[in-house]
């Protein structure tokens, strides 16, 4: 099913952030890492919202990038007055994430203004929307995991949720990614130094095999040690900073805006070899609901 109808490809020069050229190596790992690139953003109307979204095309990650049930990872901007119209999915679940600023999130027809970095998971069979009432774009991710590999559905409500009443306290689940919530962990998974970590969303949140979202901050010089998961695939999204990833015997550089897919049983580790904090959001998707495993590898 085609998810979008694109209208224009006119973001260049419209305030798009020009990111440095991708740090591509010659190894296969470097080729698997997807880079946020605003020059590839396209304007479109999402789920009947009359305002604009600007999303990288093709998606940062698509279903074929993982063997588990990730359907897509989209990297976008919510343009002023734009958003994603109110809609349902009945065989996939989704989470809108804003990387800063403030947006109006709707779940099941109730709306609250939420400051980023934050998200709101929407499980299967419930409705969701997001709206940007401000005068500047909001940096945005959309994560979608399906119940059946590669299968998508949507039921649109033709409602932009603009100008609706706001609940001061959200009456739906949210994912907060404030650094202050992180807890120190020494020698994380056999790595070096002390990282700061928090499981932001647990398996109980989701109906599909989407199993968790972790928030991990590696200070300069710190690392997440070598480990693997037999039954879980992960996507590491770089929220801030630079560093390097090793998968099996290959190593390559990563930077803000990169998405790193880690497939089943791949030995992987992340290291901050930069001077600023390396901040990661980790999306975990299992082959079997409730079955999670982690094995440290020396």
Q: Which positions lie near Fe ion, rule CB under 5 A?
A: 94
When CB distances to Fe ion are compared, the closest residue is 94
DSSP 201-262: E-GGG-SSSEEEEEEEEE-TT-EEEEEE-SSEEEEEEEEE-EEEEEETTEEEEEETTEEEEE
Q: Which is nearer to Fe ion, 106 or 272 (CB)?
A: 106
Residue with Cβ nearer Fe ion (94 or 234): 94
Closest CA to 121 of 167, 181, 170: 170
By the 8 A CB rule, do 132 and 80 touch?
A: yes
Q: Shortest distance, CB of residue 66 to Fe ion, whole angstroms?
A: 19
Contact 104, 136 (CB under 8 A): no
- Are the C-beta atoms of residues 296 and 226 closer than 8 Å to each other? yes
**CB of 194: closest distance to Fe ion in angstroms?**
38
Least distance from Fe ion to the Cβ atom of residue 99, Å? 18
Q: Minimum CB separation from Fe ion for residue 265, in Å?
A: 31
Q: Which is nearer to Fe ion, 94 or 258 (CB)?
A: 94
Q: Please say which residue, 71 or 197, places its beta carbon nearer to Fe ion.
A: 71
Cβ 277 to Fe ion shortest distance, Å: 31
CB of 195 to Fe ion, least distance (A): 32
Query: Which lies closer to Fe ion via its Cβ, residue 94 or residue 224?
Result: 94
Measured from the CB atom, is 95 or 260 closer to Fe ion? Answer: 95
CB 52 within 8 A of CB 9: no
Judge whether 237 and 143 are in contact, CB under 8 Å: no
d(CA 226, CA 233): 15
């Amino acid at each position: 099913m085609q998810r979008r109808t694109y209208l224009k490809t006119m973001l260049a020069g419209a305030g798009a952030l020009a990111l440095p050229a991708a740090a591509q190596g010659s190894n296969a790992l470097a080729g698997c890492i997807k880079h946020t690139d605003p020059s590839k953003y396209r304007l479109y109307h999402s789920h009947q919202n009359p305002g604009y979204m600007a999303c990288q095309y093709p998606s940062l990650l698509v279903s074929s990038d993982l063997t588990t049930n990730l359907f897509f990872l989209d990297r976008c901007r919510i343009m002023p007055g734009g958003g994603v119209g109110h809609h349902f999915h009945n065989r996939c679940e989704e989470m809108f994430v804003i990387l800063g600023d403030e947006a109006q999130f709707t779940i099941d027809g109730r709306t609250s203004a939420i400051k980023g970095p934050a998200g709101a998971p929407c499980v299967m069979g419930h409705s969701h929307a997001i709206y940007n009432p401000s005068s500047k774009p909001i940096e945005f991710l959309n994560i979608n995991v399906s119940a059946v590999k590669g299968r998508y559905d949507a039921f649109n409500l033709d409602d932009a949720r603009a100008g609706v009443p706001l609940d001061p306290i959200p009456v739906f689940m949210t994912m907060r990614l404030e650094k202050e919530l992180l807890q120190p962990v020494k020698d994380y998974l056999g790595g070096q130094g002390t990282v700061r970590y928090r499981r932001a969303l647990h398996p109980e949140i989701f109906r599909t095999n989407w199993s968790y979202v972790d928030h991990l901050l590696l200070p300069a010089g710190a690392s997440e040690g070598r480990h693997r998961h037999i039954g879980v695939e992960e996507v590491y999204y770089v929220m801030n900073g630079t560093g390097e990833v090793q998968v099996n015997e290959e190593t390559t550089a990563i930077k803000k805006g990169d998405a790193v897919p880690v497939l089943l049983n791949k030995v992987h580790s992340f290291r901050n070899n930069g001077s600023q904090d390396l901040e990661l959001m980790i999306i975990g998707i299992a082959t079997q609901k409730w079955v999670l495993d982690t094995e440290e590898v020396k």
